[in-house]
Amino acid sequence: AAEMRCALRAVALWWFFHLPCRALRCAQEGAGDDTGPSSARLHLDYSSRAADGWTGGAGSHATSDAVGSAGRVAVCIAGQRRVFLDEDIQHGYLKNLHRPGYEYFISTDAPVDLRRCSIGRYVRSVTVKEMYADPSLKEPCPPGTHMHRHLLPMVSRFTACYDEMLKNEQERGFQYTHVLRVRPDHMFLQRFPSPAELLQRIGTDIVQLDDHVATASRRFAVAVLLSPKRAYSVCHDLKEWSRACNATVSNLERSNRKAPCCPMRMVINYEKSNVTLAGFRFGHNVLGTCVLALKKGAHHSCR
């Protein structure tokens, strides 16, 4: 009898850890917007709480319904997939970025095998869409204006994160406390501060690291996820640049490469209230030494 009970327990444990997630549904969208053709969105509900197949220890973390001191954070991972599923990238996401209460919305150019994703059980949606740049976006802005419009396809990916976040909030009857935007090629080498910690440390409503990272309270989610597409789609004059840069700008070069300050700061011009924004270069050590790196091929630049 004892041997039989032991065998039954073993079968039950195997079934629990190998049961696939329930309720997977994939929907094809209709005609795409001005950034490209139609997209595919994968909506996920990991109601079984089974392990997601990651051998790095994802099964030991709290489920996505658990909320820690960092609050409920909607994390947008937007960009080309390329190195995202590399083991070192996935190790950093789970060990150094993830916290209880974090949920992820992925917007990329190729399907993502969540079985290879260390944070797979916390992913709420995956949007796969090719982005195409209009050749006219590579042309310089008219005299007296400037913007890096060639980056419009990149920032257009952020909107899918916002749409899916909003849908998730409405379906589940709650609202996230913060939003965080990162890239698939980011390597988190040490513990990355939560949005609440980073915002308190810097003392502003929005914190940006170039166009790589942005975080804010849920109140400013539009500025982090929607306004970039608006900002990068048009050229901006001296007055708009002066406000974005928080400094008097008296001259604008026609070159597509040089801007008075990081173009992502332009999102502040779409906020009706007085919003404070702190922007840092990606290589700035505001996070500490070697906390975040950008992986290119087999190499990365430690920041």
Residue 242 falls within a domain, yes or no?
A: no
CATH number for 206:
3.90.550
- Show the domain range for 123: 23-49+57-139+148-236+263-302
What was the pLDDT predicted at 3?
56
Residue 200 falls within a domain, yes or no?
A: yes
CA 297: distance to chain centroid? 20
What was the pLDDT predicted at 303?
54
Query: What's the structural domain count of the chain?
Result: 1
Residue 194 falls within a domain, yes or no?
A: yes
pLDDT at 52 over 50: no
Joined tokens for residue 245: 């840069």
This prediction has a pTM of 0.79
Residue 256: DSSP 8-state: S
Which tens digits make up the pLDDT trace of 149-192? 999 999 999 999 999 999 999 999 999 999 999 999 999 999 99
Dist CA 167 CA 146 (whole Å): 35
Residue 39 falls within a domain, yes or no?
A: yes
Q: Can you name the residues that pair with 78 across neighbouring β-strands?
A: 107
Residue 188 falls within a domain, yes or no?
A: yes
Residue 283 falls within a domain, yes or no?
A: yes
pLDDT at 12 over 50: no
Over residues 57-86, mean pLDDT: 77
Per-residue pLDDT band for 16 (boundaries 50, 70, 90) equals very low
What was the pLDDT predicted at 206?
98
Residue 244 falls within a domain, yes or no?
A: no
pLDDT at 43 over 90: no
Residue 126: exposure state from Cβ atoms within 10 A (0-12, 13-18, ≥19): buried
- Please name the helix (run of DSSP H) or strand (run of DSSP E) that holds residue 232, with its range, or none: helix 227-232
What was the pLDDT predicted at 241?
97
Residue 166 falls within a domain, yes or no?
A: yes
List the strands of the sheet with 186-188, edge to edge. 186-188, 292-296, 299-302
pLDDT at 9 over 60: no
Q: What is the CA radius of gyration of the chain?
A: 21
| Residue positions counted in the chain | 303
Dist CA 98 CA 227 (whole Å): 26
Q: Which residues fall within 8 angstroms of residue 194, CB to CB, at 6 or more apart?
A: 69, 70, 71, 73, 99, 178
